[in-house]
Each structure stands twice: as C-alpha cells, then as structure tokens.
Structure 1
Amino acid sequence: MKTVFVLTALAEIAMLLALYLAGRKHVLGGLKRPYAGPRPLENAPRTAMIVPITGDTPAVRAGLESLLAQDYPNLRYVLVTRDEADPATAVARALVRGRDDAEHLLSGPSAACGQKNHNLLAGVAAVRDWAEVYVFCDSTHVARPDLARLLVDPIAQGKAPISGGFHRVVPLDASVPTLGMLNVCLFLHSLQPIRAITQPWGGAMAVTRQLFEEHGIAQVWEKNIVDDFSLGPHLAKRGIRSWPVAEACLDTPLKSVPYSIWEDWLTRQLLYLKFCTPEMWIGSLAVVWMFSVPPLLAVFGLLGAVTGSADASWWVGAVACYAAGFAAVGLVFRTLSPRPIGFWDWTKGFFASPIITVWCYLRTWTTFTMRWRGIAYKVTWGGRVVEVIRG
C-alpha cells in the first residue's frame, strides 16, 4: 500500500508538471500577445463565419457582438438558429438587420444529428458557392477583433487546411466550481499544441471548403452528436491535424457557477470522448487511476494511523508531502490564470478538480444518452445519433 501510494502520487504530480511544460507557452500566447489593431493580410480568401446559436443570455449577446466586430477584410457572417420558438432568433435578426455582410438562417429541428451540427450544415449550404474558408464559432464566448484573421492566417500561408483556437475561463469570483472549470480548461488548453493528439475545438476553428468537401465532413456531421470530437478523429485517420493558434483564444467569463453546472459540463465533454473516440476514453482510465488512488490511499492511511492499524508517523509525513507537492503544482498552474486568484481559493479549486473529474468520468459509464439544451440524444459508438428525443 505504501509503495502504491508513493508511485501513483509521484506519477500524478509528474503528469501534471509535464502537461504544464507542454502547454505553458501556448496557453500564455493569447495573454501575452493581445489585439494590437488591424494588420495587413497578404492573402485574404473569401471567408464565412458560421455561428450556431440557441437561447438569449448576456453571454450569447456579448459573444455575438464580439464576433460581428471582426477586422477581417473579406468576411461574411451567417447566424443560424433552429426555429422561431428559439429566443436566439430575435437576437440574431436584430444583430444582422441593416448589414450587407451578415444574414440569419433558420435550420429547422434536427432529426439525425446534434442540433449544433444541423445548424452548422445549414450555414455551410448557404455560403458554399461563395466561401473559400469556413470559420466556425460558438456564440457564448467573447472573441478578440482579429479572431477570424488569426484562424485564417495559417491556412492562407499554406501551413495547414484546418486551424483552431480555444477558450480561457475568466474567473469573476473565487468559488470552487468557477476555479474548477478554469483548471479543467487549462488542462485541455495545455494539450492543444501537442499536434499528435490535439483535437480541433468547435468554438473557434477554420476549415477550407476544399478540405470540407473532399473529406466528407458534411456526411460525418449529419449523423453525429458533435462537431469537433467527430471531425478530429475523422481527419486524423487521413493524416490531417489541426494547426493550433495560440492567440485565437476566446474569453469565457464565469461567476457563481453551481456544482451541478460544472459536473454536467465536464460529464458532457467526457461523453463526447466516450462516443467519438472510445479508445481514448478507455485509455483515460490511467489518468483516472492517478487522480483517484493517491487521495483514497491517503484517507485510508490516515484512518489507519488514527486507529493504530498503520504506521502513523510514515502516513502523516507521506500525506503531508503529497499535499504539499500537489499544492505546489497548483501554484505552477496558477501562473496561467488570466486573473490573479488568492492562494487558498486557488488551492481549493485545484484540489477539487481531479476529484470532480474522476466522478464525472465514472458517470459516463452508465449512459448512452446525451442531454443538451432540452434535447436528449441516444448515441452509439462513433458518436452516431440513433434517436433524437424532444420534450
């Protein structure tokens, strides 16, 4: 038991430090290189920004306003909602009114894929004969004015036919769920520059029309639960990886996040992993093992020390060293936070993050149903939707 505790604790800390070192430069890229005004772009291919929307919240309004203020010189906007009943429809129509470079579409309800995919495909169909590049963005994050330019740059330069950004949680309070979501996003963000495993993020990615059509992306999306988790593996099988753009990072301001929202959001991300890349989902058991075993053995060891059935001095010292080491790693990750957070608040959020991650991972073993925005989807392997349940 002692040996297992020491080895797994060291492995957990080493894994997190390796993740930090792999992603530090990339994560800080957007923070250290903020928007500096319009700049020349030698080759500006005709680009359409397609934004699926649902709901009417302050986050949606702020996100849409930022997306509709891009400095890209050759850009058309397509905002897509499901139907008249969606509160986002009135918002989208008001925002595009009087603009020659923007339009709003109704996609109708999806019957065989995630509603987001259905909306995206409706947007693609509307600009297929005009656009050379599609930029896909979520509506709930705040974008810098040069987001489209940043995403199209590597494509225009011939570096890759697909590029992607990510998002950072901007904590507006120091609650554990807010900081927990910030930490999980930092972990995922740190994986982005590792091109051998990186996945495009649907909230900010650009794809050439040629790639989209030649590799049958529409045929993948029209049967799948999600856009990015299905696109990444589909292209990886063909030797195509997304080009990560550090500066193309959107802001996600959060405050007063309930634990239930944190759990549901993280469970949903892990369900996408389960459905679309089951081999990676199974492989994640190694991470779950490293996250769960050290704290569990620490609790058992301390209980044994209290009851006299274990070596009290060894366990108290070992657990103290583990807690100190884990807290130190947390302080390292704190340097990636977009806002300063106090030591104790950050430490609570950092210690809670692996615990909630393990819990959410375990939740994914009991379901093949994805629930999102009032719609339930029954999903099978590969992310294929087998039934859409409304109401």
Structure 2
Amino acid sequence: MSTLAWFALGSLAVWAWLLLGQGFFWRTDQRLPPVPRGGPDRWPRVVVVVPARDEAGVLPLSLPSLLAQDYPGVAEVILVDDGSTDGTGKLAVGLAGRYGGLPLTVVSPGEPEAGWTGKLWALRHGMALARAREPEFLLLTDADIAHEPDSLRLLVAAATANGLDLVSQMARLRVASFWERLVVPAFVYFFAQLYPFRWINRRRPLSTAAAGGCVLLRTGTAVAAGVPEVIRQAVIDDVSLARAVRRAGGRIWLGLAERVDSVRPYPGLGELWRMVARSAYAQLRHSPLLLAGTVAGLAVVYLVPPVALVAGVAGGDAVAAWAGGVAWAVMAGTYGPMLRYYRQPLWLAPLLPFTAFLYLLMTVDSAVRHHRGRGAAWKGRTYARPEATSER
C-alpha cells in the first residue's frame, strides 16, 4: 500500500475511536438535568456577578435579561466595571433605572494587581462583595450573555435537585455572518471533543471543564476551593475553575444551553481569529512539544481524509480513496448534530476539514504571538505565561 493509504487508514481508525470511544462527544443531548416539578421547597439566595470591560456595545442586550429574572427567591446583580473606557458602568446604572427588576450594584475594583488576569480580578472583587450578602449560590456570567427569564430558576433547581456544586452551560454563540457559520459551531464541537460532556457529568468523572459564560457556583464550595485566588493567573479561567472545584470535592455538570445565548458579534474572520488565538497556546500549556503534536494530530485527523480521497481518485489509489472517503463521511456525520443545534444547514458538515485548517493556523499564530512577547491579549491587556502552579 502507498504511504497515503496508510495515513488514510490511520485517520479512519482515529475516527472510529472518536465516534464510539470519546464519550459520544458529538451528541448534543447534554442539557440541564431533570428537576422536580415546582422546584425546591426553599429557593436559596443568589448573587449574580458580572465582570464587564468595555461592554457598552452588548450590555443593552444582556443586562436587562438578568434584571428580568423570574426567580422565586432573593437575588441581586453585581456588575464589576473592570476599567472600562466606554461608559459601561454608567450605562449599566441607566439600564437598571429604565428596566427595573433585580437590584443592581455597580462597582469598580481598579487595575488588577500583579499576578491577576483582568476577569479574575473583577470576579475576586465581585465575589467578595457577594459573599457579604451570604448567598448560597453565585451566578458568574459574562457581560455578553443574555438569559431567558427562567434561566436562573432552572439553574438553581438543577443544582439543588442533583446535589451539584457547579452547573455550567455553554451559551449558544451568535451565528449570523458567513464566518460565524463556518467557525462558531466547530468551536463548540472541538471543545466537546476535547472535554466530552458525558465524561464530565459522570458520578466518577473522566474529564473536568466548565463554560465560563454561565456558571452557577455554590458559595461554600468556592470558599473551600480557594476560588478565585487559586486560579488568579489563569487565561482559560473556566477550565481552571472547574478543576479547582473538583479538587475541593465538588460535583460538576456541563452541558449545552437552551435558554442562554451570547450576543457578542464576530462578523469577520479577524474577530474570530483573535478569539481563538488569544488562548489556544495557553490550552497547550505553552509547550512547543504539545503544539507540534496538536498540529500533526489536526493534520492527520482532519486534513488527510479529503486529501486522500481526492488524491486517491486522481491517482488510482483505491485504498487511499476508500479510507479517506469513509473517514471524511464519519467526520461530517459527527458534526451534523452540532450544526442542527446551531440551526445551520448540513451542507456545512463536509467543510469541517477547511475549518480545522483555520484552527490549526490560529493555534500556530497563538504560539507565535506568545513567543514574540504578546502572550494572551484581550481588550488592551496582555498576559504573559502564568506560573505553573496556577493551573494545577
């Protein structure tokens, strides 16, 4: 057999494993766990903490949805204005005055101390204020996340009914432009492949992760885990948070959202590229060896199948063409459920190799930025490589 045929067969073997042995990551049925009709006997106090930096563009779409939560217990919102220059804090106060609803407090912690990322510095300040209210739960949600009116109620009911310490939903990201359609569903697909939700949600978990846009966290568990101080340097703060909670003995659940949506637009490839590149190399622990392995893996798993099919047909290599075609078909088939979740046409599924190639380039660019001293850059701040202890 040709070298290309061997590579194609290797890729097909990997896809057979991914289809059946990687926690059925491609299924999209991990939604909020069931709750008793009517909810808990006593609705616990909740404080919502929203870190916000230069979010005036999205706040009118997200903050009113938090203030309008139909929650049977006591709840309030703390928005932490993290050094915004666009009037985020003033806008939040105005929105609260216009829409009413849950009580809103707007605070500003000043610039982060050395060793803190901006978001975690803001969360530290907001969580400290929240704990003074003695809530049983904290809802940590990003400023670009809009919630349906029953979102908080369903989150709390799921946590209390199932004895969960952290309930996280991956918000449905905006998919409107061509590039969003091409890149965004794949972003969630790759995340689920890396952290299969079923493995996370097991009684005896095989993986640990969270989605930082929407995290309901039991306050006592946060204190026991030392959050956020223990993860203060984390660039990928959601996964680090989940690991800290798990180390403290907390139970975690992660799934796809039905009532929580991101309103942040990424209309062009440049915006999406920066979103991925700012943290991709941090995900690889800033390791050149892991980078090389990731690039090789992406090439074999996602790029070899279409190349083998086309080259095999053109060159009369039946084994390469057959193995490449089957692997590509399995790949597209596993991507279909995520496209349906995002209400996108299934003809996008065969384009996944092209999208994976873009992610490969974004990952390499993330490493290049790091080695040029730019680290993980976000909203005017650049973060160098964290101390190793912050991610363990």
TM over 0.5: yes
TM-superposed deviation, 1:255: 6.5
Does 2:196 align with 1:185?
no
| Distance (whole Å) between structure 2 residues aligned to residue 122 and residue 255 of structure 1 | 28
* Partner in structure 2 of residue 142 of structure 1: 146
* Partner in structure 1 of residue 81 of structure 2: 81
Question: What 5-or-longer segments of structure 1 have no aligned partner?
Answer: 307-311, 386-391
The 1:41–1:305 alpha-carbon spacing in structure 2 relative to 1, beyond 3 Å, is closer
| Distance (whole Å) between structure 1 residues aligned to residue 232 and residue 61 of structure 2 | 29
The answer on whether the counterparts of 1:52 and 1:139 sit within 8 Å (CA) in structure 2 is yes
Superposition RMSD in Å: 3.5
SS at match of 1:380: coil
| Distance (whole Å) between structure 2 residues aligned to residue 86 and residue 128 of structure 1 | 28
Deviation readout 1:73-96 (Å, 9 max, x if unpaired): 221111111246343122211123
The 1:167–1:151 alpha-carbon spacing in structure 2 relative to 1, beyond 3 Å, is same
TM-superposed deviation, 1:271: 3.3
**Which residues in structure 2 correspond to 1:52-201 (within 5 Å)?**
52-73=51-72, 74-83=74-83, 85-97=85-97, 101-112=103-114, 113-130=116-133, 131-157=135-161, 159-173=163-177, 175-189=178-192, 191-195=196-200, 196-201=206-211
The answer on whether the counterparts of 2:212 and 2:237 sit within 8 Å (CA) in structure 1 is yes
Does 2:317 align with 1:318?
no
The answer on whether the counterparts of 1:56 and 1:88 sit within 8 Å (CA) in structure 2 is yes
Which residue type is aligned with residue 370 of structure 1?
A
* Partner in structure 2 of residue 4 of structure 1: 6
TM-score (structure 1 length as normaliser): 0.80
* Partner in structure 2 of residue 372 of structure 1: 378
TM-superposed deviation, 1:104: 0.9
* Partner in structure 2 of residue 267 of structure 1: 277
TM-superposed deviation, 1:24: 1.7
The 1:335–1:121 alpha-carbon spacing in structure 2 relative to 1, beyond 3 Å, is same
**Which residues in structure 2 correspond to 1:40-51 (within 5 Å)?**
40-51=39-50
| Distance (whole Å) between structure 1 residues aligned to residue 356 and residue 90 of structure 2 | 40
Which residue type is aligned with residue 70 of structure 2?
D
The 1:381–1:17 alpha-carbon spacing in structure 2 relative to 1, beyond 3 Å, is farther
Percent identity of paired positions between Structure 1 and Structure 2: 19
**Which residues in structure 2 correspond to 1:274-285 (within 5 Å)?**
274-275=284-285
SS at match of 2:223: helix
SS at match of 2:49: strand
Which residue type is aligned with residue 66 of structure 1?
S
Number of residues of Structure 1 aligned to a counterpart in Structure 2 = 368
Deviation readout 1:321-365 (Å, 9 max, x if unpaired): 5246425532442333345434444533x2322212222233343
The 1:81–1:40 alpha-carbon spacing in structure 2 relative to 1, beyond 3 Å, is same
The answer on whether the counterparts of 1:164 and 1:205 sit within 8 Å (CA) in structure 2 is yes
TM-superposed deviation, 1:147: 2.0
| Distance (whole Å) between structure 1 residues aligned to residue 312 and residue 159 of structure 2 | 59
Question: What 5-or-longer segments of structure 2 have no aligned partner?
Answer: 201-205
The answer on whether the counterparts of 2:92 and 2:106 sit within 8 Å (CA) in structure 1 is yes
